[in-house]
């Protein structure tokens, strides 16, 4: 990685603005239901505190519109973080302004201040330079440990780097190292598994991976568009009619580049999109006119698992079916087991893929679980991420 990290600067007696990605799921009572993103930043926070820094933490939660909304307050997250780090975390009622500045100025080495939701201000997402300068006024140095938002040119991610020297935290460094290796120097055979509902969301990734991988597996709703491109009747399955010719092109490109493109050969079909629908497994050329494909079948699951077995690098993003419904989760779970049991460097991104691994209890057997859904996709697509580009070069 050619970017400076927190190992490269002296933090003793400094106030450090740390951009974290604490956009975590919460229930109606304000309890955090999955704190993976918070605990993933602890090595960075502990390192900075050990170096004698005071920390100003900044994050967003949800998509508040037009100003502060109580359900999107970061106050419960500050409390949760305090329990994880074992010391108090002060909370600022806003992320900018006089009161926040005086709270930041009063911080002693080893203390933590958490700012209220950045997105309570529209200027954050507009990358407003005046707002970025106000954020920068809270600290001496900035650290970006929020890979998950680094594909966005927002004030706390990209704008602040114009006013403060900004380096990568350990989580950012880890993401860039693993994803960077998958993009530039993967061990082979290199297998990519791409799922999810829509081809539209992953076109760039598929096109970019065709130049890099040895084997590409496609499952989930997006496979239906490829089935249509091959001339199969797919009943009432989800299909992107305007992407069928593109799917044909991608199939041709795979042939030209010598990439093995594996599509499901059997699918689980149902008479309606419902957890209690009646369903059956059938080959892709026998889908009835009133049926819809909601998962890959057992033959395909086995073929996908076999394709993964000898891989040295695996990238997986997206489920193989309607994973939220138990009847249509078997394909995704089979892929999760195959990836976890492989001896490859495995990189998994996307909430559903990670949820599948946790459901089958195998998340700890994955080399790297990416915390950035959209960011990891754009990185795999070969795009430059503004938040990464703005970090100090070594």
Q: Do 225 and 244 meet the contact criterion of CB atoms below 8 Å apart?
A: yes
Read off the pTM.
0.86
What's the whole-number mean pLDDT along residues 173-186?
89
Report the percentage of the chain scoring pLDDT > 70: 100
Query: Which one from 198, 236, 248, 359 is the annotated catalytic residue?
Result: 198
- Within this chain, do residues 196 and 142 fall inside the same structural domain, yes or no? no
- Check whether residue 163 and residue 282 sit in a common domain: no
pLDDT band at 233 (very low <50, low <70, confident <90, very high): very high
Residues 257 and 365 in one domain: yes
Q: With contact defined as beta carbons under 8 Å apart, do 285 and 264 qualify?
A: no
Q: DSSP assignment, residue 384?
A: P
Residues 205-217: tens digit of each pLDDT: 899 999 999 999 9
CA distance 381 to 208: 5
185 Cβ contact partners less than 8 Å away, ≥ 6 residues apart: none
For the stretch 275-330, pLDDT in tens is 999 999 999 999 999 999 999 999 999 999 999 999 999 999 999 999 999 999 99
Same domain for 336 and 254, yes or no, is yes
Domain co-membership, 32 together with 137: yes
The pLDDT value recorded for residue 108 is: 97
**198 given a catalytic annotation:** yes
Confidence at residue 381, expressed as pLDDT on a 0 to 100 scale:
82
What's the rounded Cα separation, in Å, for the pair 280 and 270? 7
SS3 321: coil
Q: Do 356 and 294 belong together in one domain?
A: yes
The per-residue pLDDT for 19 is 98
Q: Are residues 87 and 195 in the same domain?
A: no
- DSSP 8-state secondary structure symbol assigned to residue 393: B
Indicate whether 226 and 107 sit together in one domain. no
Residues 6+ apart with CB under 8 A from 344: 187, 191, 308, 311, 312, 313, 314, 367
Instruction: Tell me, yes or no, whether 194 and 127 share the same domain.
Output: no
Structural domain including 54 reads 6-170
Query: What is the reported pLDDT for 201?
Result: 83
Could you tell me if 161 and 281 lie in one domain? no
Q: Has 312 been annotated as catalytic? A: no
pLDDT score of 349 more than 90: no
Mean pLDDT of the 97-114 span: 97
* Active-site choice (110, 180, 374, 382): 374
Sheet containing 266-270, strands listed edge to edge, beginning at the edge strand earlier in sequence? 279-283, 266-270, 292-296
Q: Which residue has the higher pLDDT, 381 or 221?
A: 221
- Given 170, 200, 215, the domain boundary residue is 170
Domain count, the chain: 2
9 pLDDT above the threshold of 80: yes
54 lies in the same domain as 187: no
Assess whether 383 carries a catalytic annotation.
Answer: no
Query: Is 3 in the active site?
Result: no
**Three-state secondary-structure class, residue 311:** coil
Q: What is the pLDDT of residue 65?
A: 85
Predicted local distance difference test score (pLDDT) of residue 75: 96
The confidence score (pLDDT) of residue 107 equals: 98
DSSP state of 392: P
Q: Domain for residue 209, yes or no?
A: yes
Q: Are residues 272 and 143 part of one domain?
A: no
On whether residue 393 sits in a domain, the answer given is no
143 Cβ neighbours under 8 A, 6+ residues apart: 6, 16, 17, 18, 19, 44, 48, 166, 167, 168, 169
Q: Which of 13, 52, 288, 351 is catalytic?
A: 351
Average pLDDT, integer, range 93-104: 97
Instruction: Say yes or no to pLDDT of 377 above 90.
Output: no
Q: Count of CB atoms within 10 A of residue 42's CB?
A: 14
Peptide bond into 235 cis (omega under 30): no
Dihedral sign (CA 137, 143, 148, 153): positive
How many Cα neighbours within 13 Å face the side chain of 172? 32
Q: What tokens appear for 164 in the block?
A: 């403060």
Residue with tokens 């040895």: 214
Q: What angle do helix axes 170-184 and 373-380 make, rounded to 10 degrees? A: 30
State percent of the chain over pLDDT 90.
Answer: 82
301, 334 contact by CB (below 8 A): yes
Residue 389 belongs to a domain = no
338 occurs within a structural domain: yes
388 in a domain, yes or no? no
Q: Is residue 17 helix, strand or coil?
A: strand
Choose one of 123, 142, 170: the last residue of a domain.
170
- Residue 295 in any domain: the answer is yes
Query: Per the residue annotation, which of 15, 19, 37, 330 is the catalytic one?
Result: 37
In a domain, 23, yes or no: yes
Residue with tokens 């059956």: 280
345: β partners: 313
pLDDT at 363 over 80: yes
**Within-domain flag for 71:** yes
The full DSSP string for 272-287 is SSSTT--EEEEEGGG-
Helical spans, DSSP H, in 87-188: 98-105, 122-125, 129-136, 170-184
| Domain end among 170, 196, 222 | 170
The radius of gyration computed from the CA coordinates of the chain, to the nearest angstrom, equals: 23
Task: State the CATH number of the domain containing residue 22.
Answer: 3.40.50.1260
**CB distance 321 to 328 below 8 Å:** yes
């Amino acid at each position: 990685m050619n970017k400076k990290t927190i190992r490269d600067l002296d933090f003793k007696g400094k106030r450090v603005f740390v951009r974290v990605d604490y956009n975590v799921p919460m229930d109606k009572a304000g309890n955090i239901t999955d704190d993976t993103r918070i605990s993933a930043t602890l090595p960075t926070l502990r390192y900075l505190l050990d170096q004698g820094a005071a920390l100003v933490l900044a994050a967003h939660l949800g998509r508040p519109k037009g100003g502060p909304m109580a359900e999107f307050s970061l106050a419960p997250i500050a409390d949760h973080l305090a329990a994880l780090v074992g010391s108090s975390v002060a909370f600022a009622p806003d992320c900018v302004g006089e009161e926040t500045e005086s709270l930041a100025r009063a911080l002693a080495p080893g203390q933590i201040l958490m700012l209220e939701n950045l997105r309570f201000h529209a200027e954050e997402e507009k990358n407003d330079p005046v707002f970025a300068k106000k954020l920068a006024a809270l600290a001496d140095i900035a650290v970006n440990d929020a890979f998950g938002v680094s594909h966005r040119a927002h004030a706390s991610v990209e704008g602040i780097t114009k006013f403060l020297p900004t380096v990568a935290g350990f989580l950012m460094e880890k993401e860039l190292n693993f994803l960077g290796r998958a993009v530039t120097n993967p061990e082979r055979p290199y297998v990519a598994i791409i799922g999810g509902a829509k081809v539209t969301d992953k076109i760039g990734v598929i096109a970019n991976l065709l130049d890099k991988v040895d084997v590409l597996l496609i499952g989930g709703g997006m496979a239906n568009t490829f089935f249509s491109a091959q001339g199969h009747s797919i009943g009432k399955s989800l299909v992107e009619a305007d992407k069928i010719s593109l799917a044909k092109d991608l199939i041709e490109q795979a042939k030209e580049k010598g990439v093995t493109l594996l599509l499901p050969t059997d699918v689980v079909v149902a008479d309606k999109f419902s957890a209690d629908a009646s369903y059956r497994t059938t080959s892709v050329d026998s889908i009835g006119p009133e049926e819809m494909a909601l998962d890959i079948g057992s033959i395909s699951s086995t073929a996908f698992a076999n394709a993964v077995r000898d891989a040295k690098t695996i990238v997986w993003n997206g489920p193989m079916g309607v994973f939220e419904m138990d009847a249509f989760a078997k394909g995704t779970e089979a892929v999760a087991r195959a990836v976890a049991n492989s001896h490859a460097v495995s990189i998994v991104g996307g909430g559903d893929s990670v949820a599948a691994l946790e459901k089958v209890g195998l998340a700890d057997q994955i080399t790297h679980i990416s915390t950035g859904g959209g960011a990891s996709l754009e990185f795999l697509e070969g795009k430059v991420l503004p938040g990464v580009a703005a970090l100090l070069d070594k």
